[in-house]
Amino acid sequence: MSVPENLHRIQQRIRLACERAGRDPHDVRLVAVTKNHGAERVSQALDAGCGAFGENRVQEAQEKIPRLPPAEWHLIGHLQRNKARLAVQLFHMIHSVDSERLARALSQAAESEGRSIEILLQVNVSGEESKFGAEPEQVEALARTALGLPGLRVRGLMTMAPYSDDPEDARPVFRGLRELRDQLRQKGLEQLRELSMGMSGDFETAIEEGATLVRVGSAIFDEAE
Ligand SMILES: *Cc1c(COP(=O)(O)O)cnc(C)c1O
């Protein structure tokens, strides 16, 4: 399969998952994850109509993005504070904000670039030690701080499910993120709308649990010739 064929197949599966879940397909966006893939594959996806791309490392993005026509780029991986400025220059949205110190650094960087940046708060729902992300109990305080920072537009939450072959294993994690968002909205944090969750192996489960952004890489790019 080629990149455009894979992409169309994923878009079709997203539509079907929305149908099963009784959701409007316009409420779910695909972020095509291009890490470890060169500009040529990314161009094929751009030409096939994909509008949003994800990278997990600033350095790789810094080499790739300037070589491509304009597109919307999302940083989905861990960000160090000393790369905040570069991240603001390269990305439309940062999915991985998990501390007040990083939120402050990004806000300052955005202000000094004369803009603001969209962010999501990354939550370690599963409690795995190897995962980045704020503890669920810390997210309300983090959200309130981030909402008060002038350079940030706080849009929602992001999580990574533990690795597994069975997408059902991820369901409680996805559900946990949705419930946390709903609780925070009930406490007045209505700016939290987005749920970034679901990857190649489990994006349909994530959509059933309310994902609004799915981050799909290998199913689009790895299996392409
Ligand atoms: C690589 C990556 C993805 C995509 O994973 P695939 O299994 O290739 O679809 C999603 N989110 C993050 C944070 C990643 O690093």
pLDDT tens digit sequence for 100-132: 999 999 999 999 999 999 999 999 999 888 779
Per-residue pLDDT for 5 more than 70? yes
For position 129, what pLDDT does the model report?
82
For position 225, what pLDDT does the model report?
61
The pTM is what?
0.97
For position 128, what pLDDT does the model report?
86
pLDDT tens digit sequence for 53-79: 999 999 999 999 999 999 999 999 999
For position 1, what pLDDT does the model report?
86
Residue nearest to atom 7 of ligand 1 (CA): 200
As a whole number, mean pLDDT of residues 8-19 equals 98
Cβ–Cβ < 8 Å for 169, 144? no
Atom of ligand 1 nearest to the CA of 215: 10
For position 103, what pLDDT does the model report?
98
35 lines ligand 1 (CB under 6 A): yes
Expressed in angstroms and rounded, the spacing between residue 59 Cα and the centre of ligand 1 is 17
For position 224, what pLDDT does the model report?
65
Atom of ligand 1 nearest to the CA of 199: 9
Contacts 24+ apart (CB under 8 A), 21-25: 21/207, 21/208, 23/207
Is residue 130 classed as helix, strand or coil in its secondary structure? coil
For position 117, what pLDDT does the model report?
98
Identify which of 173, 199, 205, 207 to mutate to test ligand 1's pocket (most ligand atoms within 8 A of the CB): 199
152 lines ligand 1 (CB under 6 A): no
As a whole number, mean pLDDT of residues 81-110 equals 98
3-class SS letters over 141-175: HHHHHHHCCCCEEEEEEECCCCCCCCHHHHHHHHH
For the chain, strand residue ranges (E) read 29-33, 52-55, 72-75, 93-97, 117-122, 152-158, 194-196, 213-216
Expressed in angstroms and rounded, the spacing between residue 52 Cα and the centre of ligand 1 is 14
Q: Could you give the domains of the chain?
A: 3-221 (3.20.20.10)
pLDDT tens digit sequence for 158-215: 999 999 999 999 999 999 999 999 999 999 999 999 999 999 999 999 999 999 999 9
Query: Which has the higher per-residue pLDDT, 225 or 109?
Result: 109
218 lines ligand 1 (CB under 6 A): yes
For position 194, what pLDDT does the model report?
98
Confidence of residue 137 (pLDDT cuts 50, 70, 90): very high
